[in-house]
Structure 1
Amino acid sequence: MKIQWFKTSILIGLVASGMQALAQQPQLQSFSLNEVHLLKSPFLDAEQTDMGYMLKLDPDRLLAPFLREAGLKPKAESYGNWENTGLDGHTAGHYLTALAQMYASTGQKVWKTRLDYMVSELKRCQDNRTDGYVGGVPEGPLMWEHVANGNFDLFNKRWVPWYNLHKLYAGLRDAYLIGGNAEAKDVLIKLTDWADRLLSKLSEQQIQKMLDTEQGGMNEVCADVAAITGDNKYLVLAKKFDHQAILQPLEAHQDKLNGLHANTQIPKVIGFERIAELDNDSSFDSAARFFWETVVDNRSISIGGNSVREHFNPANNFISMVESEQGPETCNSYNMLKLTKMLFLTKPDAKYMNYYERTLYNHILSSQHPGKGGFVYFTPIRPDHYRVYSQPDEGFWCCVGTGMENHGKYGEMIYAHQGKDLYVNLFIASKLDWKQQGIALVQTNNFPFEEKSELRIVSTKPSTFKLWIRQPEWVKEGGFTLRLNGKFIKAAKDANGYVSINRKWNNGDRVSIQLPMRNKLEYLPDHSEWVSIVHGPIVLAAATDTTKLVGLMADGSRFGHVATGPLEPIDKAPLLVDNGNDISAELKPITEAPLRFTFANMVYQPQYKQLKLMPFFELHDARYMLYWPIAKADSIEQRKHQLADDDNIIALAKRTVDQVSPGEQQPESDHSIESNGSKTGVFRNKHWRDASGYFAYKMRTTPSVKALLVTYYGGDANRSFDIYLDDQKLAHVVLDGSQGDIFFTKEYAIPASVAKPGIVVVKFVAEKGSIAGGVFDVRMVKESKTLN
């Protein structure tokens, strides 16, 4: 059966390839990146900074894992960090996409040259085998051979193999569709055929079990191959990658996301929506929209990000995010914007673009260092903490890969079109070449520093079309106004949040848009007494200190992406006083600096009254306040005591040399988890791991380490197990339920022979017929008296 349709809401940028759509286009289409060019703005600056970072990477070092696995001699040594510790090759896939996007966005040949070279080398790797496989997964061919026969022993010991491979699939797709490299299409299809054969002998139950491990958006890319080729077999393959444990609750509009690894789920939902587009499946579409609404409305903070330590925290309790140095992950927002784009193009509604704009300005734009380059993994909202940035030859985290992509595709959703209708979604200075209509649209502004924008038509002859302009939710009441060639025009907002002008447009016609911004205090989704200060779509923050920025420019160490500098006490952080006044009356503009404000009347402590607010995307190389504790004037002392009580991690953090959260994907991967007969889960919003056999972590030690701290649940009973450090038995543990309905922590003294610089294996081994664990937290700690 051949598919007779093709939709491009994700498959954008059909540029140099000249590929024709097979049939019906979607309701609304984005423009190709080569049709939108950025003008002077923070986004153009970010694009240029990204280019500098990308040019510092060596394609041959990125390609080394693929040549190694194909039995060919690498031309250069592989990069380190995540690129030689199990996720080998994942960055190259991101790099292909980033190269294609940068070529389309700028037209500069250097990006096309690099892209074509990398694709040719990947093809050489594929051609050196007979099965169509190409990948950088360590010992991948042997592992995949076992998987094809239903043996997942090696698969379970590798670091998210399908996730790794998904980056290559996506990179090849984009190299073809955006970068115009036809060879990438051939490599992609052969690689997809390999996957189809690989899964052909596996049962549905085996595949679903396999999908418990993070797999990126394999359902999406296989659906894209179906659209590219018109062959339905790839859509069948895409559906094999649908993870039913996630899909079914979403189809029933049930929020079962608490405790799940956030960025594992978002790409799956992108795949659900892609299949819905191609298969006209309303159930999949409904599931994807429910997921979006749940995450955006209940689980996202003011900058648009979500998750703590990469997992969805309880929607009704954000205290873990407030406390943690591992706040929202940039990859999550990258994927949420991708999903948002898809949903908007199939059902245009300003709510999607409102979220898109908020996240673009405040999380994505802020996630790249503006001078040196470098990308942010976690954005803490903990008071007085900071972010760290990658360096080109050191860090190869997931957020480095998506980071290179993020800042090369800012033009993708500024405009959209449907027939002769043109949508202006974002107020970013840019030039649109609307080739189908033979006109250009130039948007000039200094937004958000000036609260206005202007659209100018450039054409050789009159053209009739309807211009739709988003009326943002953040504009002051009655302040959104339009003028056509200097004359005020009345335009009513439709149900989707847009105003329209339908006329014959002439060369030089101008539409002036006034965008006066309102201010607001935005509480966390759980409505706790924590607020962010928002001006229009811009989240404001304040720099508090520039000291103790440990690892600001991250090295290549396993934990380099985490801001591990000392945590400051939350109860000592700046506290805002709710005086009952409108926030606009409290913010005092600094006239010589746009989007800078003082707000001394709101700040309780005298030493913080000189703090200045600024756009978060401009705040770097400093500790900061992004979310602020707030209290009524008559309850200040009560609020301070509450903050001290809530901040239950700082004393423990000062003692901690190394820590792992059992059951959480990234912390366990960071500590080289090994297990047999083990399982994980979430109990009272805490992750756990136990085993009928064993589980083990590699943990750091120093001469100052004096004890191992392990957290259990008091209700667990009839469990006995041993704890080993390397091969030395440290303790025998019996859990008998006597502690009752609480979590409790045991401290085990560590022999001096173990407390030394380096790595020790902490192993939990069940007695025969019993269970080891459940274990909720594991820490290597110093003595209490060494805190300072």
Structure 2
Amino acid sequence: MARALSRRTLLQAALLATAAPAITYAAGGRAAAATLPVPAAWALRPFELKDVGLGQGVFATKRQLMLDHGRGYDVNRLLQVFRANAGLSTGGAVAPGGWEGLDGEANGNLRGHYTGHFLTMLSQAYASTGDQAYADKIRTMVGALTEVRAALRTDPRMLAVTGKWGGAHENVRGSYQYIDLPAAVLGGAPAITLSVWVKPTHNANWQRIFDFGNNTSRYMYLASRNGSGIPRFAITTGGPGGEQALNGTTALPLNQWSHLAVTISGTTGTLYVNGTAVARNTSMTLNPAALGTLTNNWLGRSNFSDDPVFAGAFDEFNVWSRALTAAEITSLQTSEAKTSSVGLGNLASYYFSTTTGGTWGDASGRGLTATLRRTWGGPSHPGFLAAYPETQFIQLESMTSGDYTKVWAPYYTAHKILKGLLDAYLATDDARALDLASGMCDWMYSRLSRLPDSTLQRMWGIFSSGEFGGIVETIIDLYSITNKAGHLALAKLFDLNKLIDACAANTDTLDGLHANQHIPIMTGYVRLYDATGETRYLTAAKNFWNMVVPNRMYGIGGTSTGEFWRARGAIAGTISDTNAETCCAYNLLKLGRTLFLHDQDPKYMEYYERALYNQILGSKQDKADAEKPLVTYFIGLKPGHVRDYTPKQGTTCCEGTGMESATKYQDSVYFKKTDGSALYVNLYSPTTLTWAEKGVTVTQTTNYPREQGSTLTFSGSSAAFELKLRVPSWATSGFQVTVNGSAVSGTPTAGSYFTVSRTWRGGDTVRVTIPFRLRVEKALDDPSLQTLFYGPVNLVGRNTSTSYLQVGLYANAALTGDLLPSLTPVTGKPLHYTLNGTEFAPFYEGTEDPTHAYVRRSEPRVVFGKTDSGVANPAKSDGTTLLDEIWAGAPFSSKSALVTRVQSTVNSWVSGGRLTQADGQKVLTTAQNATYAT
């Protein structure tokens, strides 16, 4: 086990590493193996996606929908926000919208996250299928992000577009760029004309075409749109309340060139739009001379920091120290100023076609060079890469409470981008992706390592601004490739000590916490244990798991209500339309998988089957769509809930993780012991495993869960190892294993692994029989609220009612305890049944039917084998009924065994005063005379 490293040691090592020459990666080459090194702490080793082929079945069908979506989607739409942030051409691409665009929730403050998810999805798709189309998309995205980082590393440069008179400069929306003019630009002139050609590309109000001022009190501006959407000129020395203004009459057209001019002479100011005077004020007392020398003289930027930067193009900006006549203004409509009778502006004159750099010479002869700048300056480190300015990261460092309209989880977004890049590198060997990922970590370390621990602890505890997702896990994965001490030190800077310490002490403090902010943290801490040997990380993660599963888990495997956790054990009391955020299930699967690699407790794979076969499969709609991945955000468990597969325009965190889930369904079907001595079969799924080290191929043929079992066929070389077959905890009877038709000795135990040891040879066939039975799981805080399971499959009622369905299941229960005989199979529809007129179907079917995941158990009378005893079913104070206590003894080996159980239970209830002697005899007689399903 590795020696535990202190933070001081890690930081010192990181500083030494930072001083060393940077590692470079040649394009197309590799700096490390394509697979991540296996930590010494892992007892098991997962197979790569390329080693496990997915056969036909429910998983393949769902995956194909996502593969088609990923194959056809134009990735330039995702890259739009990155290119805009760097001031690069977006090629006319339109961002997806929702959270992945400037106009989405909180002004798109999470943009860039979805691009990272998409890169991971493409990487998994390529690893699984080998389809070159996915690799081509990955390389396009990595190439573009490389160009983006290079552009961010340098001062902004002119983006040349076709102008009114030739070339022009465009401010791409989202670039945060503006043109800075020298202080002398207005020349203190008492009379003035300002003339400019603009082509607006966005309709946000209060975008400034120009703004000359010192602050928000003394300024002069021309806005392309005021609060009413029309052009406005204003000048003031007393702030907004003292503005002397000129307002236009109609909005400027988008994506068209318009000419605007403002003249001031004496007490008269005039606003012209396309040569026509649209506003005149004859009572003006202010002019540029009254403003004095101004420090902030900008084209495209406002002195009010909350105003948007102008989005659009500039062509020909001129300033004259006199008021042009109406005829002169008109002449500027048909020719450039330099060829018109007016001539160039004598105070300033700029032609934005004259350079491709970041400055423009002044044609007036005054030498007032204009400079293109970013409102936020530039990155603090050359490794910075994001789809928005670094300001979100900077602001977070001083925040004491969350405000996602200003700062929305920047390190969470950084994680998604980082993970996408690392996955892209592992899938395609594109060293540019590794270089980008490594640079991002270098940049994060340069920011965070300067902060005191108290600041870091405060930041990481803020909802949701401080959310950082699974970044620690990804940093550790990257560190295993780069071996840069700074990367390991960076991972430890995300320690949230109050969470780690509480969980390590097994103190449950989760009530009220944001679920998905904390689940992926724990996976990262397990990986930090792998890298440092600090046991508190692993202990905390294991205890955390038990706090969530099953104590805050719904039957489908999901957790959270409205994204947050409630008190331990609160299930029935939290049922709503906003249960089970899909990201939570995704991250619990990842955490359980990681813990199982350390500790082969079957409970982790029990959960994996539950969540994968129910919430994860059910979160993907069974429908093709070119625009959206069609994945749920929340899965409401309220009666009659209809799943929403396109929440918030379809680019949320859950659509992102949903894309990932649908392209890695096979990632945990098989694990191998690190020494190669055993093969774990965790899930029963149609797959083909290629175990290269053994020279063995294992083909699993099954229609599970529509089939109650699976067949594994071996081919290739002979090899000796243990085959460990998971026995689900719900498989309480009838689990059988045969090898080449002969039964294997031993007694399978539900909730464990059944081991078959032999030298495997080509042609060997293993048949696993796993009988299903219908059972219920009760809500921890209300035993009468129950959800139905048939084997691994959650069955949900399809009914428009918005009240809990009243369901009785003992009426025809089998001696085995199987409740299924009380339901009626639907012909031609596997795993579909009816009960009291309601159809029950697998949760995993991605339909838009109103569903009932939970039902209200109602057994008003004692019935055996469809025979009614005529006796009311009594109950104890905790809700346990007579029938509950009788059937708790199942399975029964025979009818007589059941009758014996009825006799003893009836005697106990009679003696306890809960049942009369006469009614007890009726119950016993009915049990003796009934015919039972087997």
Alignment TM-score, normalising by the size of structure 2: 0.60
What is the percent sequence identity of the aligned residues? Answer: 32
Provide the rounded CA distance (Å) in 2 between the counterparts of 1:529 and 1:414: 35
What letter matches 2:471 in structure 1? Answer: M
Provide the rounded CA distance (Å) in 2 between the counterparts of 1:516 and 1:424: 17
| Among 147, 162, 166, the residue aligned to 2:411 | 162
What letter matches 2:475 in structure 1? Answer: C
| Structure 2 residue matching 1:53: 3-state secondary structure | helix
Provide the rounded CA distance (Å) in 2 between the counterparts of 1:452 and 1:366: 22
| Among 208, 226, 232, the residue aligned to 2:485 | 232
Residue matched to 1:31: 47
What letter matches 1:114 in structure 2? Answer: K
| Structure 1 residue matching 2:666: 3-state secondary structure | helix
Residue matched to 2:671: 416
- Relative to structure 1, the CA distance from residue 145 to residue 290 in structure 2 (aligned partners, 3 Å threshold; closer, same or farther) is closer
Provide the rounded CA distance (Å) in 2 between the counterparts of 1:544 and 1:146: 49
- Relative to structure 1, the CA distance from residue 51 to residue 29 in structure 2 (aligned partners, 3 Å threshold; closer, same or farther) is same
| Structure 2 residue matching 1:385: 3-state secondary structure | coil
The alignment status of 1:68 with 2:323, answered yes or no, reads no
Provide the rounded CA distance (Å) in 1 between the counterparts of 2:810 and 2:712: 41
Provide the rounded CA distance (Å) in 1 between the counterparts of 2:846 and 2:486: 49
| Among 70, 81, 85, the residue aligned to 2:98 | 81
Counting only pairs closer than 5 Å after superposition, residues 511-522 of structure 1 correspond to structure 2 as 511-522=766-777
- Relative to structure 1, the CA distance from residue 507 to residue 153 in structure 2 (aligned partners, 3 Å threshold; closer, same or farther) is closer
* Mapped contact 2:670–2:682 kept (Cα < 8 A): yes
Residue matched to 1:524: 779
| Among 374, 377, 388, the residue aligned to 2:644 | 388
| Structure 2 residue matching 1:128: 3-state secondary structure | helix
* Mapped contact 1:598–1:612 kept (Cα < 8 A): yes
| Among 597, 600, 610, the residue aligned to 2:837 | 610
Residue matched to 1:684: none
The alignment status of 1:361 with 2:585, answered yes or no, reads no
The alignment status of 1:588 with 2:824, answered yes or no, reads yes
Deviation of the 1:467 alpha carbon? 1.2
What letter matches 2:458 in structure 1? Answer: K
Residue matched to 2:448: 199
Provide the rounded CA distance (Å) in 2 between the counterparts of 1:127 and 1:296: 45
- Relative to structure 1, the CA distance from residue 535 to residue 154 in structure 2 (aligned partners, 3 Å threshold; closer, same or farther) is closer
Provide the rounded CA distance (Å) in 1 between the counterparts of 2:855 and 2:35: 51
The alignment status of 1:114 with 2:174, answered yes or no, reads no
Provide the rounded CA distance (Å) in 1 between the counterparts of 2:824 and 2:844: 20
| Structure 1 residue matching 2:710: 3-state secondary structure | strand
What letter matches 2:585 in structure 1? Answer: S
Deviation digits for residues 766-786 of structure 1, max 9, x if unmatched? Answer: xxxxxxxxxxxxxxxxxxxxx
What letter matches 1:21 in structure 2? Answer: P
* Mapped contact 1:590–1:596 kept (Cα < 8 A): yes
Provide the rounded CA distance (Å) in 2 between the counterparts of 1:518 and 1:151: 53
Provide the rounded CA distance (Å) in 2 between the counterparts of 1:389 and 1:300: 22
What letter matches 2:79 in structure 1? Answer: L
Provide the rounded CA distance (Å) in 2 between the counterparts of 1:151 and 1:295: 28
The alignment status of 1:510 with 2:741, answered yes or no, reads no
* Mapped contact 2:39–2:531 kept (Cα < 8 A): no
- Relative to structure 1, the CA distance from residue 348 to residue 64 in structure 2 (aligned partners, 3 Å threshold; closer, same or farther) is same
Provide the rounded CA distance (Å) in 2 between the counterparts of 1:163 and 1:619: 28
| Among 269, 285, 298, the residue aligned to 2:551 | 298
Provide the rounded CA distance (Å) in 2 between the counterparts of 1:206 and 1:355: 36
| Structure 2 residue matching 1:512: 3-state secondary structure | strand
Residue matched to 2:366: none
* Mapped contact 1:481–1:514 kept (Cα < 8 A): yes
- Relative to structure 1, the CA distance from residue 214 to residue 20 in structure 2 (aligned partners, 3 Å threshold; closer, same or farther) is closer
* Mapped contact 2:638–2:802 kept (Cα < 8 A): no
| Structure 2 residue matching 1:40: 3-state secondary structure | coil
Alignment TM-score, normalising by the size of structure 1: 0.71
| Among 609, 614, 622, the residue aligned to 1:370 | 622
| Structure 1 residue matching 2:145: 3-state secondary structure | helix
Deviation of the 1:577 alpha carbon? 3.6
* Mapped contact 1:348–1:496 kept (Cα < 8 A): no
Provide the rounded CA distance (Å) in 1 between the counterparts of 2:447 and 2:610: 41
- Relative to structure 1, the CA distance from residue 383 to residue 151 in structure 2 (aligned partners, 3 Å threshold; closer, same or farther) is closer
Provide the rounded CA distance (Å) in 2 between the counterparts of 1:19 and 1:295: 31
Deviation digits for residues 649-699 of structure 1, max 9, x if unmatched? Answer: xxxxxxxxxxxxxxxxxxxxxxxxxxxxxxxxxxxxxxxxxxxxxxxxxxx
Deviation of the 1:137 alpha carbon? 4.7
| Structure 1 residue matching 2:111: 3-state secondary structure | coil
The alignment status of 1:462 with 2:479, answered yes or no, reads no
Deviation of the 1:588 alpha carbon? 3.5
Counting only pairs closer than 5 Å after superposition, residues 303-322 of structure 1 correspond to structure 2 as 303-322=556-575
What letter matches 2:606 in structure 1? Answer: N
Deviation of the 1:106 alpha carbon? 0.8
Provide the rounded CA distance (Å) in 2 between the counterparts of 1:253 and 1:438: 44
Residue matched to 1:598: 834
The alignment status of 1:128 with 2:364, answered yes or no, reads no
Deviation of the 1:593 alpha carbon? 2.9
Deviation digits for residues 496-533 of structure 1, max 9, x if unmatched? Answer: 81111221211111001101012211112324421000
Deviation of the 1:150 alpha carbon? 9.2
Deviation of the 1:55 alpha carbon? 3.0
What letter matches 1:91 in structure 2? Answer: Y
Deviation of the 1:189 alpha carbon? 0.6
Provide the rounded CA distance (Å) in 2 between the counterparts of 1:472 and 1:206: 46
* Mapped contact 1:148–1:199 kept (Cα < 8 A): no
Deviation of the 1:98 alpha carbon? 0.5
Provide the rounded CA distance (Å) in 2 between the counterparts of 1:163 and 1:31: 27
- Relative to structure 1, the CA distance from residue 290 to residue 590 in structure 2 (aligned partners, 3 Å threshold; closer, same or farther) is same
Unaligned runs of 5+ in 1: 4-13, 546-567, 600-608, 643-788
Provide the rounded CA distance (Å) in 1 between the counterparts of 2:398 and 2:450: 7
- Relative to structure 1, the CA distance from residue 281 to residue 432 in structure 2 (aligned partners, 3 Å threshold; closer, same or farther) is same
| Among 204, 209, 227, the residue aligned to 2:458 | 209
- Relative to structure 1, the CA distance from residue 626 to residue 15 in structure 2 (aligned partners, 3 Å threshold; closer, same or farther) is farther
Deviation digits for residues 35-77 of structure 1, max 9, x if unmatched? Answer: 0011111000011011122234321111112122223222323
* Mapped contact 1:303–1:358 kept (Cα < 8 A): yes
What letter matches 1:377 in structure 2? Answer: Y
- Relative to structure 1, the CA distance from residue 147 to residue 294 in structure 2 (aligned partners, 3 Å threshold; closer, same or farther) is closer
Counting only pairs closer than 5 Å after superposition, residues 280-679 of structure 1 correspond to structure 2 as 280-322=533-575, 324-373=576-625, 374-390=630-646, 394-418=649-673, 419-459=676-716, 461-477=717-733, 479-493=734-748, 497-545=752-800, 569-570=802-803, 573-577=804-808, 582=817, 583-590=819-826, 592-599=828-835, 609-618=836-845, 620-633=847-860
* Mapped contact 2:557–2:610 kept (Cα < 8 A): yes
- Relative to structure 1, the CA distance from residue 462 to residue 100 in structure 2 (aligned partners, 3 Å threshold; closer, same or farther) is same
| Structure 2 residue matching 1:299: 3-state secondary structure | coil
RMSD: 2.9
* Mapped contact 2:449–2:490 kept (Cα < 8 A): no
* Mapped contact 1:89–1:135 kept (Cα < 8 A): no
What letter matches 2:656 in structure 1? Answer: G
- Relative to structure 1, the CA distance from residue 165 to residue 60 in structure 2 (aligned partners, 3 Å threshold; closer, same or farther) is same
Provide the rounded CA distance (Å) in 2 between the counterparts of 1:193 and 1:71: 23
* Mapped contact 1:16–1:179 kept (Cα < 8 A): no
Provide the rounded CA distance (Å) in 1 between the counterparts of 2:681 and 2:48: 15
What letter matches 1:448 in structure 2? Answer: P
Deviation of the 1:308 alpha carbon? 0.8
- Relative to structure 1, the CA distance from residue 15 to residue 509 in structure 2 (aligned partners, 3 Å threshold; closer, same or farther) is farther
How many residue pairs get aligned? The number is 592
Larger radius of gyration: 2
| Among 83, 96, 117, the residue aligned to 2:119 | 96
Residue matched to 2:352: none
Deviation digits for residues 590-610 of structure 1, max 9, x if unmatched? Answer: 4543212233xxxxxxxxx11
Deviation digits for residues 226-275 of structure 1, max 9, x if unmatched? Answer: 22222333222111111123212111101111111110011111111111
| Structure 2 residue matching 1:34: 3-state secondary structure | helix
What letter matches 1:47 in structure 2? Answer: R
